[in-house]
Structure 1
């Protein structure tokens, strides 16, 4: 009996490995905004609030310098950062809050790990992640979100199709500003300051102890000094690939 159970387990493991090996490759969508017809150009700043706390260096710089941003928030972050949410809600001209999922689970409908984070693993779990994120935002009194960005910003193509059917656009990016908040201040500032007309920047606002936060502020102020305009995703026409915005 034990031998039979062992054989069945080995068969199941072999099937699982074969399935993982043939799973559709993941995609990391890009996103640009429609370039400006005149002037120095405009860029869209997007900041992920995955969990943890709030980087007050970034939040204060945005308010003080009147820099608009689209903040992708998880249900986890919303529960822990009521004061920051109130500051954002007090400046509706600057901040647009969008859906980063309920529990910061990658929107991938097959079992695997992305950057060490376990994926949703099934269509139902992807659906639950997206809808719980939207529900968490609704609980704050914010308008219904129009955009979704999953944890790790990588997706299975079938998950993208599912998210689009729910009515959300999927937010890619064109410049990875802070490397998941793991880059140093100098490199983060350099990447962000290099943004051009039409770029969509991704960085993080939930790691107040990381050096990257200082670089985010430096890079944004450098762009402002060049005369670039900042816009939220809802205030510009986003153009994404992989079926994310069409």
Structure 2
């Protein structure tokens, strides 16, 4: 038993050392290039899984606010009516790749915000490729952008994804804190966007207060004369070799 305990401790310590010595994760930023007669921002919304926040989707349609929606294969299976609404408004919605099963694009074993990473280069590529296939299966064009679960990546995973032909969508404003912020703070963050900012928020949490705040923040920007663009409408500059 004593030998077994020592072996178990050695394995645990070895695993801890491997995580500690692993390359630090990157959370790339992204800005769109400024230009035009009015300040511009890009609204990017993650549809990780679960349902659809109709407050957000309805507001985007009603007020004609374009957005780039990053969808997982899981979300696509569960939200056909919402997908139909988005596809009915191609002038507003650009659908892009959020992965097959919402697994962080990190090619070493670890957890990010409690979510287990892909863990290997092969698993990272599988997450990217199955996400793209899920989109094209619906009849959508092949996606050009990828955003991994948690928006954090290992440097080597970024290289893999870029080699696969995808630009990686970072952001410059975390609008809703993973949909966990209250309505007031979400509205404050979003309405504070500046020319060239890329906002990240979530459209898959209809019971969270953040959705209400997101709508208020976007309408505040609209009232100030901001123009909303999708990522494919403009040039973007991402850090960490994510868009070059």
> How far is the alpha carbon of 1:104 from its aligned partner?
0.5
Residue correspondence of structure 1 range 2-151 to structure 2 within 5 A = 6-36=5-35, 38-151=36-149
For structure 2, which runs of at least 5 residues remain unmatched after alignment?
none
Residue correspondence of structure 1 range 90-239 to structure 2 within 5 A = 90-239=88-237
Please, what TM-score do these two structures have when normalized by structure 2? 0.97
CA distance in 1, matches of 2:19, 2:39: 44
CA distance in 2, matches of 1:54, 1:128: 25
Q: Aligned pairs, how many?
A: 244
> How far is the alpha carbon of 1:16 from its aligned partner?
1.6
Contact 1:40 1:226 in 2 (8 A): no
* RMSD of aligned alpha carbons: 1.1
CA distance in 2, matches of 1:17, 1:177: 33
CA distance in 1, matches of 2:151, 2:45: 12
> How far is the alpha carbon of 1:152 from its aligned partner?
0.5
SS of the residue 2:201 aligns to: strand
CA distance in 2, matches of 1:11, 1:188: 45
> How far is the alpha carbon of 1:166 from its aligned partner?
0.3
Per-residue deviation, residues 111-169 of structure 1 (Å, max 9, x unmatched): 11111111111111111111110011011100000000000001111100100000000
SS of the residue 1:24 aligns to: coil
> How far is the alpha carbon of 1:10 from its aligned partner?
3.5
SS of the residue 2:124 aligns to: helix
> How far is the alpha carbon of 1:13 from its aligned partner?
2.7
